[in-house]
Structure 1
């Protein structure tokens, strides 16, 4: 993959982040606005997929992938990352509740958290690609980790607690104020720099996003080992995450079958990873179909459960 492609994609990513900052200026985001922008980011990913299909020879002139294979791999990876990232939204809600983040500061907190996650995931993707290129057995470790995580997710009882490790580290290294100072990460008090709770919130969000990346990045490497496609799928999945959060913020309790669906997807992808290179290898289009059908059924089942809930209470 030419370096110019990565640099061009970096410029595109920075431009899209700037657009996201512009559309969330003011701090207050209505559900209608968030829904429209969620649709925009979703369609933009498919526009990028079309560019892969028509210009793959420009993106990767020496790749073994055909344009069709690269396009399907990107879309599968994108939908996988998007579906797995939905679980992040529940964590965001818990973080905001735990740290009593004012509503008008939440878009900025999410922005910095997502930017941090983008940078850290890019590093992890580069490391992961090198590991898989040199040590094929690492794929089996990733597969086992995914299957184990999927089982743990299925057994999870939903404790509303966030790992306090980032907060403990920050408080040990820095002085932290008791209250928020608008969207500032730090202020000067009595000639000394003091960090605000917003700094802790952003640190916790970025930390949790990386923990989720330990699941999602191995999962997408089961779909494709092309680093550019892995990076692009992660970028487009994370770019729309903020808007999607505000769409789902008031609907969190409605999707009661989301966790079982995510658990199934992770176990399925882990099995797919184990079968890579064997006679029982699962085709990419099958993975795409399984992910779409699973998430669709989870959504429909959750809506059906909600519709019949009042009847069950009568």
Structure 2
């Protein structure tokens, strides 16, 4: 029995497999409590209840930060300095968590549009978001594993990430707002062409059986608009992952810190949606703070991995001082918190902020 479990001690991207499995089991427990106990019946999730759920998930995320600081054993391979590894890890974890939470906030706009497009009743929206998050956990694991393999093999890829983040931040400021036209989405077009789809939502079901439209007399499987909404939520998460995964790897190269900060931010997304869906327009200036964070993180990569590390490798002396992780955390807090506060103050008294 002992030998059969020896694989648990093997490492995967710097951490033992048992730690990865324990984390996934813990997340599974939280999801079971959420859907199986707290929200086990269809119904409208109130803003007050959502605020309590979001506060609970945030508290758990903070508690996990304490684990990172006091218990976690960082792999020095993923850190530029061998000193104070746990301090570096916890600062990077909270920076990543705040950044991913802010990026997830952007999803609220698009998710609301998807629910409106498919006319998803509020009492079924929680179910769609729950399964959407389940998919996001899987997809983020795939993206982060690929990202870790690429970054560790080719460190220069970080400079591509830096350029992409600077470009994305610049585009968010000056590129204007472009709404997604779901009718033209290729994934939705494909599904409508290949699947039987009901005209209306059938309770909380993603699939139902109905008579074959070809007249065979058999019952065949039909997807409902609720399933299409779920697929589009997953598509949106994949699109946003293109921004968020490079952003978090720009903060830390430690795959465990990358994944855990991502997942805790995603867990809070569902509660955040129901808590802020009605007031989301009040945060219209958030994108400017977030865009500046992306630009600064891109610049930080060039600074630390180019000017600092590159010059040090050639001469033995650094051209510029090393930017410690706490400066990323302070900048992220200041820019995101400041843009949210400014938005709330600026739109105060507006009935329908643009």
* TM-score, normalising length: structure 1: 0.93
Is 1:71 the equivalent of 2:90?
yes
State the partner residue of 1:128: 147
Following superposition, the deviation at residue 62 of structure 1 comes to 8.8
Distance 1:157 1:111 in 2: 31
State the partner residue of 1:302: 343
Following superposition, the deviation at residue 25 of structure 1 comes to 2.8
- Which of 205, 213, 217 is equivalent to 2:245? 217
Gaps of 5+ in 1: none
Aligned pair in 2 of structure 1 residues 193, 3: CA closer, same or farther (>3 Å)? same
Whether the 8 Å CA contact 1:166–1:200 is kept in 2: the answer is no
State the partner residue of 1:29: 45
Is 1:244 the equivalent of 2:263?
no
- Which of 165, 172, 179 is equivalent to 2:200? 179
Distance 1:309 1:242 in 2: 26
State the partner residue of 1:49: 65
- Which of 268, 273, 287 is equivalent to 1:259? 287
State the partner residue of 2:17: 3
State the partner residue of 1:14: 28
Cα RMSD (Å): 1.9
Whether the 8 Å CA contact 1:120–1:210 is kept in 2: the answer is yes
Give SS of 1:175's match: coil
Is 1:88 the equivalent of 2:102?
no
> Mean alpha-carbon deviation: is it higher for 170-179 or for 206-215?
170-179
CA deviations 1:124-179 (Å, max 9, x no partner) are 00000000011112111112221222222223433432452221122232111111
State the partner residue of 1:291: 332
- Greater Rg by CA: 2
Give SS of 1:101's match: coil
Aligned pair in 2 of structure 1 residues 62, 273: CA closer, same or farther (>3 Å)? closer
Structure with more of its chain in helix, by fraction: 1
Give SS of 1:184's match: coil
* TM-score, normalising length: structure 2: 0.83
Distance 2:193 2:270 in 1: 30
Distance 1:292 1:247 in 2: 21
Give SS of 1:276's match: helix
State the partner residue of 2:323: 282
Following superposition, the deviation at residue 308 of structure 1 comes to 6.1
CA deviations 1:200-251 (Å, max 9, x no partner) are 1111111111111111111111111111110100110001110011111110
Following superposition, the deviation at residue 18 of structure 1 comes to 1.2
State the partner residue of 1:161: 180
Distance 2:33 2:240 in 1: 25
Following superposition, the deviation at residue 254 of structure 1 comes to 0.9
Distance 2:33 2:186 in 1: 32
Distance 2:210 2:247 in 1: 46
Distance 1:307 1:185 in 2: 40
CA deviations 1:101-123 (Å, max 9, x no partner) are 11111101111111111110110
> Mean alpha-carbon deviation: is it higher for 80-89 or for 170-179?
170-179
Whether the 8 Å CA contact 2:161–2:250 is kept in 1: the answer is no
Gaps of 5+ in 2: 1-14, 212-218, 309-319
